[in-house]
Chain A
Amino acid sequence: MAMLEPVHPLTPKSWYLPSKPHKFCPGCGHGIVLKALGENIDELGIQDKTIFGCDIGCSLLAWNFFACDSTQTHHGRTTPVMVGIKRSRPELITVGYMGDGGGYSIGSQHLLNAAVRNEKVTLILVNNTNYGMTGGQMAPTTLPGQKTETSPYGRDPEQTGYPTKGPEFIAQLTPDSAYVARATVSKYNQLKRFIRNALRNQIEGNGFSFVEVLSTCPTNWRTNAQQTWRFLEDEMEPYFPVGELKSPFGKGDK
């Protein structure tokens, strides 16, 4: 009888092991997004030429997550830093990793203009409906009525508008060679496929690639495991439809 192989948890080769276990809170969605990204980096064989750039936000906790070269930027400024790298060294694969606050609030002008210029970078934006790192303030994506530290009585759209729908507006700004999608950590295979497409689109030199990922933040939502999942699936996913909004690789996956 053959010896049983010892079982190792499946870890993407592109993960940087000295930084594990990672620093996200238990139940946080960031780890799932990064797993999908890591597996894609492995499968596409781009570990050595990937530059991972992280925003200031909980994304920052991923600064040494991968055994890829990486850079920390400023809150909201990951997009222009990635654009600077890509324009200078087009052979590199630049992956910007940011939160909804970093992308849609303080960095929105950069996101908008990079999309309009069809910059050949890949951006992954984690939507957890709040500012996680600073302790749970309102984000552009906070749902109507949702309580946060700066909307203690619930978000009032009369005062602060409705949640930003990022992929929808980016799809309007970009040409057909761009890739725009929204994924969720509750559908892993689809998430992984969307990130793969977003990387492929850059590798093929087509254009701007953007994936928003609906994610969980039990710490600031103050939810237990069941409530966390319920908020993601029953509140966020109906408000923010998941699917490909624009894809050079054929008909979008809805």
Chain B
Amino acid sequence: MEKVFSEAKKAFMTGNETAAWAALAAGAEVMFGYPITPQNEIMHYWTRMAPKYDRGFLQTEDEISAGFTVCGSVQSGKKAFTATAGPGNVLMQEPFGMAEGMRLPLLAIIQQRGGPSSGTVVYSQQEVTLTTFGGNGEGHRIVYSTATHQEIYDYIIKGFNTAWTYRFPTFILGDGYQAKMREPLELYSPEDKGIKMVEPYPLIGLPGHIGEDREPKHLCNIYSLEEELYEVVMKISAEYEAISPELTEYQERECDDAEIIIVSHGVVSRAADDAVTALRAQGLKVGCFRPITLRPFPAQELKNCIQKSGAKKLLIAESAYGQLFRLVRQEIYGETVPMETLFMPGVGIIDYDIMSKIKSML
């Protein structure tokens, strides 16, 4: 496949444009999608660029269809992806469930908007529960929550490799701010950074004569016996747990002696980071912890952080009403450190909000 960037290049663009370039650079072969704000421009850029790089696109009749066409495409061996938001993410839970059950290397970019229902088209972090544990399964998904345009670019490239290496559906969880704002970043071809892209391969439509060279391949997602399904789910769970340590990613800052640790993810972690800088300058012992992977969650790392610092309190800050909070609580079960919360569902959080909250906690 043709190299998209002959050399690394600085750019100033929106997160949606960044996402389209990243998919192109990662060698994505086809996008299936349905319009929804704030994700639209990923499709707009992709449809302009795709024919020039011999990549495909189809606007389907809805998100259910977009998700299932991606399922079909990856089964046939193509590096396919989709992008959506809000109610579109709700509809895609059905195909995402198929990808979970059948271990399909599907990649979806989610630009969270306000909910419930049609909510707003602006911004939120209210699709955390849906993206990590949506559907009628066990949350066997890999979810990267990005905070900058550089990360959108880097993690889309990485996400395709994760999906095709481990064969779990993989999500890049952004939001309306990241989608629409412009910010500087560096664009590059993965090979120039020493990243080897994993080649896609077919799961059906395999080479060779059936009966002579190979047996027919029958992909399966429904089982007649309870025990059969049990075996499958237990096997998937075991594999997911086995790979989790190598997949989890996080960032922490100033936690060694922190009395309060701010836990946040995605774009809110930028505000947390600024709040730490400002509060430290005022002599307050505050640190921050940011899960980059929400699934699998860096639980051990957060526990270590709490233990080494002897933190007196955690502050969970999110643009949702407790979705990250629930995740954190379940993941660090057994820790007794008190937790306080800053819930601002559907609105942005700035350093000032976090600092005021911290001061009220002292």
> Which residues of A come within 8 Å of B, CB atoms?
56, 72, 74-76, 101, 105-106, 108, 131, 134-135, 137-138, 140, 149-153, 159-160
Contact = CB atoms under 8 A, between A and B. Distances in A.
Given A134-B37, A151-B47, A56 B59 contact: no
17 contacts: A74-B118, A76-B62, A106-B61, A106-B63, A131-B35, A134-B36, A134-B40, A135-B40, A137-B44, A140-B61, A149-B40, A149-B47, A150-B44, A150-B57, A151-B47, A152-B44, A160-B58
Given A74-B117, A76-B62, A137-B40, A153 B51 contact: yes
What's the interface size class on B, roughly? 10 to 19
A56 B47 contact: no
A245 B220 CA distance: 46
A3 to B, nearest CB: 50
Interface string B55-86: 00111011100000000000000000000000
Given A74-B87, A75-B87, A131-B35, A108 B61 contact: yes
Contacts of A140: 61
Interface of B: 34-37, 40, 43-44, 47-48, 51, 57-59, 61-63, 87, 117-118
A137 B59 contact: yes
Nearest to B38: A134
A56 B61 contact: no
Contacts, number: 51
A28 to B, nearest CB: 19
B43 A137 contact: yes
Contacts of B117: 74
B33 to A, nearest CB: 8
A153 B52 CA distance: 12
Contacts of B51: 153
**The 9 A-B residue pairs with the shortest CB-CB distance in the complex, in nearest-first order:** A106-B62, A137-B35, A134-B35, A105-B61, A149-B44, A150-B59, A150-B47, A152-B48, A56-B118
A137 to B, nearest CB: 4
A134 B51 CA distance: 23
Contacts of A106: 34, 61-63
Contacts of B62: 76, 105-106
B246 to A, nearest CB: 38
Given A135-B35, A153-B51, 9 more contacts: A75-B118, A101-B35, A134-B40, A137-B35, A149-B40, A150-B44, A150-B59, A152-B44, A152-B48
Most buried by A among B37, B48, B58, B62: B62
Given A151-B47, A152-B47, A138 B36 contact: no
Contacts of A74: 87, 117-118
B35 A150 contact: yes
A147 to B, nearest CB: 11
A106 B37 CA distance: 15
